[in-house]
Amino acid sequence: MKKYLNLFLLSVILAAFNTRSLANGVLGGELLYEWISDSTYRFIYKHTYGCPGDTAPLTMPLCIKNPCNNSGVTLTMTRIPVSNGGTLNSGTAVGCSSTKTSCDSIGAVLPGFKEQWYAIIYTLPSRCNAWKAFTYAGNRMAATNIQNASSGRLYAECTFNNTGSYQGNSSSYFTLKPYALLMQNNPFIFNNGAVDPNGDSVVTEVITPKTGVSSCTDTATNVLLTSGSPAISIPINPFQTNNTFTLNTLNGQTSFTPTQSGYNIVTYRIKEYRNGVLLGSITRDVCFYVFPTGTSSTISADLFNAIDTNCTPSGSTAAPLGGSPIQGCAGQRLDFCFYIKSADTDAILRVIDNLALNIPGATITYINQLSDSVRGKFSWLPGINDFGTRIFTLTVIDSTCRPPGIILYNSYSVPLYIHPRTKAPEDMAICAGETTMLSASGAGNYLWTVLPGGSSGSLSCNNCTNPIASPTATTRYAVISLSNTFCPNINKDTVLVIVNSYQPPTVATGDTTICLGETTPLSATGAGNYKWNVLNGTTGSLSCDQCPNPWVTPYTNTTYVVKSSNSYCANSTDTVIVSVVQKAPSYPTVSASSTFLNYAIKNYPITFTAVAKSCDSPAYQWVLNGTDVPGANTATWNTVLNTPNAAVYCKMTCADRCAINKIQYSNTIHLIVANNVDEIKNQRNIQIYPNPSTGNITINLINAPSQTYRLEILNTIGQSVYLDKYFHLDVNTPKQINLQQLSTGIYTLMLNGIPYKIALN
């Protein structure tokens, strides 16, 4: 009887496949963009379709709209190779390698999926903060959650911002395939594996699939969802899951239990943010094919999270892995274990992770791989700057090969939260009678105290971030973060305020007026050492800045400030205003430069310098990653950087009466910000230089045996752009590769699977 029942189920599945229209095979698509230079981008469309069905089109349309000026353009994308090495239009295996899919045989039970990629390079003609690009394909494969899906078209779009510092941004991309095989009534976890190449924050949403577009002049509309009980609704029940569908918007993890067999389409939208500003978004249609109950046994994986370096079951907290962030402390080793066990003792589980890209330096040691129960020990020593939320993904694959020939898997996003080190400012010196502002960073809810021997009562507040200190004698202050009780060893710091004796006042010459091009002397008296600066006006007009009598040649009204000092006390200042009579119009410009070229070190001093031309009264505002920097209003800005990447430019406002186009923007300086110098030169006995490079990269093996590597270079969307399977390195014998054929950008260089970031100018 069981034999006949299985034959009946097989005939039902075959009938479902054989009745599909060969003209309606589109399952999903995603439209991505990659910045190349200035306003030039590469647009890439990844097309997914089923078997049997249409072959992929030779070309795809690309519609680009600029709502800032109501303009648009229609382009044509052409085929490019799929980056995973597959032949164009080849079937992608999602089941057991020995099992045929519908791409191999029209009567196969296991559905097959094909991919085709398309691309075009285009230079946008203008700037806008709300560009939209979209494409369309038809017709869709019939789906259980979309009414008349086979008569409608697929629609995919992306939005982006190419204004200011955002012009160098590329879209997020996905590391996992947009389709999966599921079992009816079996719990399932899915993750797109969204990665942002610029290190921006991503937020995942589920939206209604769109259709109704057949040309660039059409407007997309929502598809009509099928009726059922419970009702299909977005986002809580996008297809029949009996309202079990949940989504973690921050890590993109989706969990649900499908209750209806067949094809189901879910549309995800990934939004990208930088410092709270929305940079853009991409959409992705994902196909979940659900096998009916009876075609396979029900398999589920139970995960347990334990902070237990011995990896013993007694250490399990019984909490689901990834359910809540695992806490750690900057500068202190974080170790924890997890357990993944199948309810089926015959299961063959294998766990893989993406630590190499998401948390470099972290490791996971696996025990009992290819069994029904796998243990993993996570170990990482986060640096003092590796604080905040980090997320990595575990993919659990059951290779048992369940009937009718599928490999079951689940993906889990595991969040970590590393508490930062509480930091007080560097020790400082003031003059008697002066005050100074203290600052704390790293956490919150600070408590300041005066250590024994100091000036008691000299703080303006105790429970605040920036108290004003008014010590009458040299005093050490301590700060502790009351909110970071998890890390008692790094939640406190101290600062010493040295109080120097009073110095005589500085007296400068009186204000004066000169004509354009004239030179006039300044003078100061009062103390032994002097420091002249331009408070506002003509930068660089001082003949000397550490002398009592400099000559100045300003070309606009300029205020000079002189500060006298003695015994490290510098509290006495005076100013001189030199007014300049203007006689001709000017066309101001400003340019910016930095002490480092294309890269910087986290928390290491860097100086940015702006040079204004044809302006007598410039005012500066430095802009970091699209945001004005408070207090950065001089031509030279000294700071430290702590973000993965930095884009810096200077906004100059010229107050001259004869100035034309008073507001000017300098060139944008793009920097890669590394954790330390070794990271720039690379690690693990590998030297890669120069980095950044104009195309010729040298690789050197040091303090390690000579060996042969598999060398591969990937672009920001995961495409392989360079491959050498037998790249031999001899110790202390540098070897050079030529990458001048590659476009400007950031790439990932893989040596035996270990990633290194390189930048090409």
Structural domains of the chain ordered from first start: 2-291 (2.60.40.10), 301-419 (2.60.40.10), 428-500 (2.60.40), 507-581 (2.60.40.10), 589-674 (2.60.40.10), 677-760 (2.60.40.3080)
Could you give phi then psi for residue 550, rounded to 5 degrees? Answer: -80, 155
Whole-structure pTM value: 0.52
| Whole-number Å distance between alpha carbons of 625 and 159 | 19
In this structure, are residues 604 and 585 in contact, taking their beta carbons and an 8 Å threshold? no
Residue 277 has pLDDT above 70, yes or no: yes
Query: How many CA atoms within 13 Å lie on the side-chain side of 94?
Result: 26
Rounded to an integer, the average pLDDT of 684-699 is: 85
* C-alpha–C-alpha distance, residues 563 and 534, integer Å: 11
Strand 475-481 with 507-508, pairing: unpaired
The DSSP element (H or E) to which 759 belongs, if any, is strand 754-760
386 or 296: whose pLDDT is higher?
386
Written in H, E and C, the secondary structure of 28-77 is EEEEEEEEEECCEEEEEEEEEEECCCCCCCCEEEEEEEECCCCEEEEEEE
Q: What does the angle CA 582 – CA 588 – CA 590 come to, to the nearest 5 degrees?
A: 135
Please tell me the distance from the alpha carbon of residue 48 to that of residue 284, in angstroms, as a whole number. 11
Selected residue with higher pLDDT from 443 and 125: 125
CA torsion through residues 100, 101, 105, 107, sign: positive
Residue scoring higher pLDDT (19 or 542): 542
Cis upstream peptide for 52 (omega within 30°): yes
Contacts of 711 (CB under 8 A, 6+ apart): 722, 723, 724, 725, 727, 737, 749, 750, 751
**Residue whose tokens read 């057949």:** 214
Mean pLDDT confidence for 135-150 = 92
User: Count of CB atoms within 10 A of residue 9's CB?
Assistant: 18
Q: Which residues of 500-517 are buried (b: 16+ CB within 10 A; e: fewer)?
A: beebeebebbeeeebeee
* Mean of pLDDT values over 378-404: 82
How is residue 372 written in tokens?
Answer: 């029904």
Name the phi and psi angles at 14, rounded to 5: -60, -40
Residue 424: Cβ-neighbour burial (10 angstroms; 0-12, 13-18, 19+)? buried
The CB density around residue 48, as the number of other CB atoms within 10 Å, is 26
Output 440 or 309, whichever has higher pLDDT: 440
Residue 268 · residue 172 · CB < 8 Å: no
Cα 12–15–19 angle (5° rounding)? 150
Rounded Cα gap, residues 126 and 335, in angstroms: 50
**pLDDT given for residue 279 in this prediction:** 94
pLDDT reported for residue 590: 93
Give CA–CA dist 725/715, Å, rounded: 18
SS3 state of residue 168:
helix
Q: Are 379 and 340 in contact (CB under 8 A)?
A: no
Per-residue pLDDT, 677: 56
The two structure tokens encoding residue 754: 């270990």
Range of lowest pLDDT (21-35, 40-54, 202-216):
21-35
Average of pLDDT values for 416-432? Answer: 88
Closest to 650 measured CA to CA, from 661, 672, 634, 638 = 634
> What is the DSSP pairing of strand 636-639 with strand 645-654?
unpaired
Comparing CA positions, the residue from 441, 439, 438 lying closest to residue 420 is: 441
pLDDT recorded at residue 312 = 56
Q: Which residue has the higher pLDDT, 109 or 733?
A: 733
Confidence of residue 722 (pLDDT cuts 50, 70, 90): very high
How far is the C-alpha of 629 from the C-alpha of 623, rounded, in Å? 6
Beta bridge partners of 407: none
* Tokens 């971030």 belong to residue: 465
Give the separation between CA 542 and CA 485, rounded to whole angstroms.
52
- How many Cβ atoms are within 10 Å of 733's Cβ, its own excluded? 10
Pick 148 or 55 by higher pLDDT: 148
pLDDT, position 5: 33
Distance CA 39, CA 170 (A): 11
Mean pLDDT of 603-628: 91
Cα separation, 626 vs 97, whole angstroms? 49
- Cβ(528)–Cβ(559) under 8 Å? no
Q: How far apart are CA 752 and CA 577, in angstroms?
A: 64
Which string of DSSP letters, residue by residue, matches 375-404?
Answer: EEEEEE---TT--EEEEEEEEEEEEEEETT
**pLDDT tens profile 59-107:** 999 999 999 999 999 999 999 987 643 333 333 446 666 677 778 777 7
**Which ranges of 112-251 does DSSP label H, i.e. alpha helix?**
none
Q: How many residues does the chain have?
A: 761
Q: Provide the 10 A C-beta neighbour count for residue 193.
A: 17
What's the pLDDT at 630? 95
Instruction: Judge whether residue 413 has pLDDT over 50.
Output: yes
pLDDT at 28: 92
Residue percentage of the chain with pLDDT more than 70: 86
pLDDT value, residue 308: 44
Q: How does residue 10 score in pLDDT terms, banded at 50, 70 and 90?
A: very low
Mean pLDDT of 134-145: 92
Taking 70 as the threshold, does the pLDDT of residue 597 lie above it?
A: no
